[in-house]
Amino acid sequence: MINNLYNIGKTALQNAQVSVNNASNNIANADTTGYQRTSVVYESSSSISALGLTLGTGADVTAIQSEWNKFVETQYLDALADLAAQTSA
C-alpha cells in the first residue's frame, strides 16, 4: 500500500515536470513564426482494489498535442492559394 502511494506521488511530480517543460517551451517559442502552442494530454491510470476499496492511481501523460485554430488555418491556406494564383501569371 505504501508503495502505491509512493508511485502516485512520483507520477504526479513527473507529470508536473512535463507540464512545466511544455509551458516553458510554449513561452520560449511564442514569437517564433509558425510555432503552434502545445498542450499536455493526461489519461487516468488504472485503479487498484485494497481492503475492499477501489482506489485511483493518478494519471499518466499520454501525449503532447499541437493546438491550432481551424478557422485561422483555413484563412491562412486561402490567402496562400490566392497569393500563388496571383504570382503564377
Is there a contact between 46 and 57 (Cβ–Cβ < 8 Å)?
A: yes
Q: What is the pLDDT of residues 33-87, one digit of tens each?
A: 888 899 999 999 988 888 888 888 889 999 999 988 888 888 889 999 999 988 8
Q: What CA–CA distance (Å, rounded) separates 45 from 72? A: 35
Whether the pTM exceeds 0.85: the reply is: no
Q: What CA–CA distance (Å, rounded) separates 75 from 81? A: 10
Name the helix (H) or strand (E) containing 75.
helix 70-87
Q: What CA–CA distance (Å, rounded) separates 35 from 22? A: 13
